[in-house]
Structure 1
Amino acid sequence: MSEKFKTEPEDLEATVSHSSGFSRFASLFGGTNVWVGPRIAPLPAYLKNDVSEGEESSEAILNRQLASEDGTSIQYRTCSWQKTAALLFSEYICLAIMSFPWSYSVLGLVPGLILTVFVAAVVLYTSLILWEFCLRHPEVRDVCDIGQMLFWGKEWAWWGTAIMFVLNNTFIQALHVLVGAKYLNTMTASDHVGGCRTVVFSVVVTVICLIASLPRTFSMMSKLGTASAFFTFISVLLATIFQAIQKEPAGFSAALGSPIVTALPVKGTSFVNAMGAFLNISYTFIGQITLPSFIAEMRDPREFPKSLWACTIAEIIVFSVVGGVIYAYTGNQYVTAPAFGSLDDVYKKAAFSFMIPTLIFLGCLYASVTARFVFFRVFRNSVHMNSHTVVGWASWFGILLVTWIFAFIISQVIPFFNSLLAVMSSLFDSWFGFIFWGVAYLRMRSVDEKAGRKRNRITAAFSTGVNIFIIIMGVFFLSAGTYASVQSIIDAYDSGSVGGVFSCASNGL
């Protein structure tokens, strides 16, 4: 690396006093002058044997990781901040954007827009906390490492995090199998398809995604992600334009009347519906579960905030404009989730078709993150990790195959878009979006104080209060959110508005 990390200066108090303003600026936007604080956890056992005395700093560990990949066939720490931004765009600029009009119809336009900005700000803040944690512990490769460190190295914490981590990623893969089948059903609505069409289409999408998941480095995935984000942007832009230029939304009837747009929630809006709409918005923003893996493949992880800020600003603009404009033209009566369903047939097929790269890629991205989690632990310090071996590639393929089989099963058991988003948000985002990072902040500030780093009392008290509030938000998501999402699934089945498990009926828009 061309610049050295600022780790553990000899006169910590003097350094912080002299450059606290600059350090705060760097802690927001990154760069070579970022101050990296002390670790909260000791070196893991597998590193202790390889690190000599005086080489335990974050800088030394990162440099060893970079040096270990020199001359190898497969190199992982290759991403620039621009490539990482492409990965973030591909993760966040996704199909879930098309659930925003429905969320705004439930919450009301004004609360919907306020919550959009609020959730974006909270996620940006917690992502910066996550990044700071990863700088202090450069050996971290995924959120499971962090989970164990945060809860005092307990083995149960690692296993609990690992289970949620794999389930979260597999649910997201399932969402893309579900919507892939929805797309194929939409495009072939007038055609006769033999057999159990929705299940067959789901199998086709699963196989395609399995093949597309095979690249083993994020550098390669970022190239695919750039194309995915571009086509997704075109898709939602076309959907927004088409909604504005068509005479009436799809399904228009004189009985229902012209689209009704409300600034506030309509009278009688249930807690279950309101919570589901809020969870839909939150799910689209919350993606911290993948960030440790992205940061672990950056050549200079100090540059990560640049990627984060670029993506967050784009998210707020795109989500608010798309959600607000489409809702304005569909109103409470004609809005659908995803919102392609409120377009006339030709417009719907044209706009939805540009979503194909994202339908495939984003599920592949999460499958790749899960495969890394397993693969790096099985083959750590092995020739199979950095070389093209039969065992390495066979194992990589086998891991991906298992995750996609489970994704296919989940897509057939919870075969509806909004409720699947809500379940994932309440069960997993409560931890990976809020609780983990509030705890991480408190743990890092505690070791900073022990190391002699002084902070303004008012600022320290305010920051502590904010992070306690973030933890409480996570608990609310986990409790009330899970109740609302499960109840919405029960209500959907009771009303007969969705097909049954492994249904053959078309799920097209």
Structure 2
Amino acid sequence: MYEVHGQPDADEEASASAEKQDSGESRDVFVEDEVHQIQYKTLSWQSVSLLMIAEIVSNGMLSLPSALAVVGIVPAVILIVFLGIFGLYTAKLLIDFKLNHSNVHTMGSDAGYIMFGPVARELLAFGTVAFAICGSGSELLSSQQALSTLSNQGICSMYLVIITGAVAFMISLPRTLGRLAWMGLLSAGVIALAGFVAMIGAGANPVPGRSLTITASSNFYDAFLAVTNPVFAYAGMNFVMFFILISEMRRPQDAMKAAWCLQVFATIFYAIFSIVLYVYIGNTVQSPALFSLPPTWSKATFGIAIANFLLSSLLNLSGSSAGLYTHTAAKLVFVRIFRHSKHIYSHTLLGWTVWTLLCFAGVAIAAILAIAVPIFSYLIGIAAALFAAWYTYGLAGFFWLHDVYHLKGGVDGIKRRPIGTTLAVLTILAGAFICVAGAYVSIKVSVRVFASDIHLSNQ
């Protein structure tokens, strides 16, 4: 008898139907066995929360103060709080889906197949890898900006990306996330310290005659462009982390504790950091916000933050900060190739060769995109709109509808839950809106920047 998380279902026929939709393997992707040389299920919920904080908060906070300058303090703070609550809700839907389908390892490879079949499986798997690579490249760019500031632009940007890419490759090599858990603790501490130093620097050097905006009227394009970063900062978390991290937890049932820890910390930290920097700098605040600080404070903050940029660039578990992204992209492909084989659990030559090549390829492609594509930072926004919006928001609603339909009595089960059904549908619509609006804004910005670059090159 199949079982919804915490509640057995009496409808065995619906249960059997749901079981058939498993992606070919109904057992957990990582089977626990003492004879295995590589043990995956080692993460505690505390470690998971720290890894998610390291993956999300590092880059997300740097662009938030500039959003306040466009839409105003009150709307921006309301949006930050709303996204935190919304992210917690969608995290609950993702976690419940994972607990109901223990074989799910990634959004694309497994969850997509269960819900929509083989075509969706490949499409979502491609989206997962593509977004992870873009996220990794984004983190490499952040590292490059920090190093450029520290060196007074004395080192070629290309070399800086290559250096951070090499570090990222080395850190992404451990096969299990448990071996990276200590980095989550270090990175979370670095994030908090960098944020406090930046706030102290802004408070000690307020901009004379600065102007502040409480609320502002703006056109749709400018307003959505301003809030793109907070929207996708929250989006990256669920998409990149949850399924892969939960698969390596000792107690997957504790995953919601990690989600609570992340969202409470991220929401409070985002709000305080963005308000403090905006209040002391005003409407001239730049993005990233650290560039608005005096040179000494900017270097001090970047000097602290660089440790986190490097760590997250290399952790690369698969999402918004580059760090956890590469690991995720590599692990998705690796598990697809060797699922339930000895190469997953043993130190085989073939297994390590393939794993090393996948990690190297992920970092190399991210570095090449970051170096060779002038509008790469805008392409990241397009990728986030097309993939992360659906993976975090839209698909979460489908998860709920799928499991209620198959495990709770079909259409009648959905009708008996009007509130849950309404929230699920609204979640799907929100994902669709963010996808379309985000893609529109990102493409428009990319076209403008590209046209501007061409104009300048012709002069």
Q: How do residues 374-393 of structure 1 correspond to structure 2 at under 5 angstroms?
A: 374-393=333-352
Is 1:272 the counterpart of 2:226? The answer is: no
Q: In structure 2, what is the equivalent of residue 337 of structure 1?
A: 287
Q: How do residues 64-83 of structure 1 correspond to structure 2 at under 5 angstroms?
A: 66-67=31-32, 69-83=33-47
Whether the 8 Å CA contact 1:172–1:366 is kept in 2: the answer is yes
Q: In structure 2, what is the equivalent of residue 491 of structure 1?
A: 448
| The 10-residue stretch of structure 1 (222-231 or 412-421) with the greater mean CA deviation from structure 2 | 412-421
Q: Which amino acid aligns with 2:18?
A: I
Once the two structures are TM-superposed, the CA of residue 247 in structure 1 deviates from its matched residue by 4.5
* Corresponding residue to 1:47 among 25, 34, 45: 25
Q: Which amino acid aligns with 2:418?
A: A
Once the two structures are TM-superposed, the CA of residue 271 in structure 1 deviates from its matched residue by 2.6
Per-residue CA deviation, residues 337-376 of structure 1 (Å, 9 max, x unaligned), is 1111011111111111111222122233211111111111
Whether the 8 Å CA contact 2:149–2:299 is kept in 1: the answer is yes
Whether the 8 Å CA contact 1:283–1:424 is kept in 2: the answer is no
Q: In structure 2, how many angstroms separate the alpha carbons of the residues matched to 1:190 and 1:182? A: 9
Q: In structure 1, what is the equivalent of residue 124 of structure 2?
A: 161
Change (3 A) 1:188 1:204: same
Once the two structures are TM-superposed, the CA of residue 434 in structure 1 deviates from its matched residue by 1.4
Q: Normalized against structure 1, the TM-score is what?
A: 0.80
Whether the 8 Å CA contact 1:337–1:417 is kept in 2: the answer is no
Once the two structures are TM-superposed, the CA of residue 390 in structure 1 deviates from its matched residue by 2.1
Q: Normalized against structure 2, the TM-score is what?
A: 0.89
Whether the 8 Å CA contact 2:43–2:248 is kept in 1: the answer is yes
Q: In structure 1, how many angstroms separate the alpha carbons of the residues matched to 2:455 and 2:329? A: 30
Q: In structure 2, what is the equivalent of residue 84 of structure 1?
A: 48
Once the two structures are TM-superposed, the CA of residue 239 in structure 1 deviates from its matched residue by 0.5
Is 1:440 the counterpart of 2:399? The answer is: yes
Q: How do residues 465-480 of structure 1 correspond to structure 2 at under 5 angstroms?
A: 465-480=422-437
Change (3 A) 1:165 1:294: same
Whether the 8 Å CA contact 1:7–1:38 is kept in 2: the answer is no
CA RMSD of aligned residues (A): 2.7
Once the two structures are TM-superposed, the CA of residue 92 in structure 1 deviates from its matched residue by 2.1
Q: In structure 2, how many angstroms separate the alpha carbons of the residues matched to 1:242 and 1:417? A: 30
* Corresponding residue to 1:229 among 178, 183, 188: 188
Q: In structure 1, how many angstroms separate the alpha carbons of the residues matched to 2:59 and 2:11? A: 50
Alignment gaps of 5+ in structure 1: 13-36, 49-60, 249-256, 501-509
Q: Which amino acid aligns with 1:143?
A: M
Q: In structure 2, what is the equivalent of residue 122 of structure 1?
A: 86
Q: In structure 2, how many angstroms separate the alpha carbons of the residues matched to 1:303 and 1:397? A: 31
Q: In structure 1, how many angstroms separate the alpha carbons of the residues matched to 2:454 and 2:203? A: 28
Secondary structure at 1:221 match in 2: helix
Secondary structure at 2:105 match in 1: coil
Is 1:149 the counterpart of 2:114? The answer is: yes
Secondary structure at 2:152 match in 1: coil
Q: How do residues 284-363 of structure 1 correspond to structure 2 at under 5 angstroms?
A: 284-286=233-235, 287-289=237-239, 290-333=241-284, 335-363=285-313
Change (3 A) 1:9 1:302: same
Secondary structure at 2:34 match in 1: coil
Change (3 A) 1:424 1:107: farther
Q: In structure 2, what is the equivalent of residue 183 of structure 1?
A: 146
Q: In structure 2, how many angstroms separate the alpha carbons of the residues matched to 1:125 and 1:234? A: 29
Change (3 A) 1:357 1:183: same
Is 1:109 the counterpart of 2:73? The answer is: yes
Q: In structure 1, how many angstroms separate the alpha carbons of the residues matched to 2:363 and 2:100? A: 34
Once the two structures are TM-superposed, the CA of residue 413 in structure 1 deviates from its matched residue by 4.7
Secondary structure at 1:77 match in 2: coil
Q: In structure 2, how many angstroms separate the alpha carbons of the residues matched to 1:331 and 1:97? A: 16
Once the two structures are TM-superposed, the CA of residue 394 in structure 1 deviates from its matched residue by 1.4
Change (3 A) 1:499 1:206: farther
Secondary structure at 1:93 match in 2: helix
Is 1:100 the counterpart of 2:64? The answer is: yes
Change (3 A) 1:315 1:247: closer
Q: In structure 1, how many angstroms separate the alpha carbons of the residues matched to 2:153 and 2:55? A: 33
Q: Which amino acid aligns with 2:135?
A: I
Q: In structure 2, how many angstroms separate the alpha carbons of the residues matched to 1:175 and 1:162? A: 20
Once the two structures are TM-superposed, the CA of residue 400 in structure 1 deviates from its matched residue by 0.9
Change (3 A) 1:247 1:7: closer
Q: Which amino acid aligns with 1:394?
A: T
Q: In structure 2, how many angstroms separate the alpha carbons of the residues matched to 1:497 and 1:317? A: 42
Secondary structure at 2:287 match in 1: coil
Once the two structures are TM-superposed, the CA of residue 419 in structure 1 deviates from its matched residue by 3.4
Change (3 A) 1:122 1:467: same
Once the two structures are TM-superposed, the CA of residue 39 in structure 1 deviates from its matched residue by 7.8
Secondary structure at 1:40 match in 2: helix
Q: In structure 1, how many angstroms separate the alpha carbons of the residues matched to 2:81 and 2:23? A: 42
Once the two structures are TM-superposed, the CA of residue 455 in structure 1 deviates from its matched residue by 8.7
Q: Which amino acid aligns with 1:329?
A: Y
Once the two structures are TM-superposed, the CA of residue 42 in structure 1 deviates from its matched residue by 2.0
Is 1:422 the counterpart of 2:372? The answer is: no
| The 10-residue stretch of structure 1 (473-482 or 446-455) with the greater mean CA deviation from structure 2 | 446-455
Q: In structure 2, what is the equivalent of residue 56 of structure 1?
A: none
Whether the 8 Å CA contact 1:414–1:420 is kept in 2: the answer is no
Q: In structure 1, what is the equivalent of residue 101 of structure 2?
A: 137
Q: In structure 2, how many angstroms separate the alpha carbons of the residues matched to 1:173 and 1:164? A: 14
